[in-house]
Structure 1
């Protein structure tokens, strides 16, 4: 029997996962803040329409499911907590499709009886002004190699969203965090990935990534010296108009995931006694851009 599935947060990431499930004949329950009759995803293979409706009240949840894909941002977990209460039972697996390396500690207090697993999301999906989502690459997730993760794998089995299990998930998660952290520079400039073609920005990005790398290693991640260059080279060789979710939030005037993506480097650096001079400057600026005042 196939697992029952709900997607909480039908934004860019949630819509992508919902579309993959729907295409495989396993349309999930969709839960969010805004009532919509259907979701739309535009990918390389064409347009996918996922039937709704999007449920907007936890009372409409329909009971516990086997797997919840939680696709809200770290700043929205408190708001999503009533959905987790309504959808989770003792055997539910909550797969957190969220940035950062602290997903478990952030979500677990809201679902004490469920099994929470973090993930690393490796696909560029962008929300469009009309509410549709543009998937600009292949959909792929990395999960820790645990029994709970295998339940989430089973939910996505046979879909075009591939899942890989990592024995050293910590290193994978920190690798992605470095990529997310350097994207904070886009917020402060109001520019997209094309800005990394500038030599001065590329050099600043490399210096910041080396700082992040030192913290990641102190935290237990096994990452090589080549990682900063790989990340910057990827940004420089990709589409110049490629954005990031934290830039989209800044442009829309929404709260930013500055603590999850950048503040964590500063906090963990201090805990390990590692100097983080770039973070000392960058993090307050991102926090002010997010939370003000002014």
Structure 2
């Protein structure tokens, strides 16, 4: 299968490397020092599922030089999705499909608005990974998984083809859920709560899930996210919040979310696509989200500073 990886950091770098290791034709879209190092020495992945080093990889900073592919996995930050969609247009042929692997719940809508509904599936992933350095990905926690499907939940040959490609890999579990929106929001539940609590406290999850005061905040964040999802017609299971909390409790004590790491580094973050989205979508649905609103408001000054927004 011919696959392009748009965004070759911790998420895209890991899943793309596993597909390439399994023999698929993978092209990484990267830039800067990461691009240069991959061109010189390939891509190295340190992983709890087994290390690998691809001595040679296909990598480019120009999607127009790649040509049409079978599938594009979009693994950029949430605020970069619209820009990424415009950039990957040269790789979109008549049968190409695009799968977002972002943390939020709005990426598929953004992609479909630019590329057309027919080219877009919805999707998500689970992994604790980051770019350790140029050409070097570190996977430190969570057994990696990808879940994707047609936005209307019909079974399709193209989704099954992508699942078959991932089934050939080492270190990735792939699934086509019965309801992709339930899957996307179920992941959003825990990552948004984890991102929010970690970003306002600057503490790892092992601390915030143990301290009674911050654990209560996690529970409140989860309850609000769940209420917004249900108000939007997402058929979450009755124990969705409890499942998310169990997942949080099972993470390594030192775990932090990518949004938290970006905020602590003074970088632009996915605040608007996570806690900000809960507030925005809750307002549209008539659902109160006071704890998510507090998290969003508390972090907004730093977010604006990171993006050099004044006034």
TM-score, length basis structure 2: 0.85
Q: Is residue 142 of structure 2 the alignment partner of residue 137 of structure 1?
A: yes
Match of 1:106 among 103, 107, 110: 110
Q: Distance in 2 between matches of 1:181 and 1:225?
A: 19
Structure with the bigger percentage of strand = 2
Of residues 89-98 and 72-81 in structure 1, the stretch that sits farther from structure 2 once superposed is 72-81
Q: Distance in 2 between matches of 1:127 and 1:58?
A: 21
Match of 2:258 among 245, 248, 251: 245
Deviation at 1:82? Answer: 4.6
The aligned residue for residue 156 of structure 1 is 166
CA contact (8 A) 1:121 1:141 kept: yes
Change (3 A) 1:49 1:82: farther
Superposed CA RMSD: 2.2
Of residues 41-50 and 8-17 in structure 1, the stretch that sits farther from structure 2 once superposed is 41-50
The aligned residue for residue 21 of structure 2 is 23
Q: Distance in 2 between matches of 1:280 and 1:197?
A: 23
Three-state SS of the structure 2 residue aligned to 1:67 is strand
Q: Is residue 190 of structure 2 the alignment partner of residue 185 of structure 1?
A: no
CA contact (8 A) 2:64 2:91 kept: no
Q: How does 1:1-294 map to 2 (within 5 A)?
A: 3-34=1-32, 35=35, 36-37=37-38, 38-50=42-54, 51-61=56-66, 63-112=67-116, 115-129=119-133, 132-135=136-139, 136-144=141-149, 145=153, 146-147=155-156, 148-160=158-170, 161-183=172-194, 184-195=196-207, 196-292=209-305, 293=309
Q: Distance in 1 between matches of 2:160 and 2:249?
A: 36
CA contact (8 A) 2:282 2:289 kept: yes
Q: Distance in 1 between matches of 2:289 and 2:82?
A: 30
Q: Distance in 2 between matches of 1:267 and 1:122?
A: 24
Q: Any runs of at least 4 consecutive aligned residues in structure 1 with deviations exceeding 4 A, and if so which? A: none
Deviation at 1:246? Answer: 0.6
Q: Distance in 2 between matches of 1:241 and 1:131?
A: 24
5+ long unaligned stretches in structure 1: none
Three-state SS of the structure 2 residue aligned to 1:159 is coil
5+ long unaligned stretches in structure 2: none
Change (3 A) 1:252 1:131: farther
Deviation at 1:268? Answer: 1.9
Alignment length, in residue pairs?
A: 291
Q: Distance in 2 between matches of 1:279 and 1:291?
A: 18
Of residues 86-95 and 107-116 in structure 1, the stretch that sits farther from structure 2 once superposed is 107-116
CA contact (8 A) 2:186 2:244 kept: no
Deviation at 1:130? Answer: 5.8
TM-score, length basis structure 1: 0.90
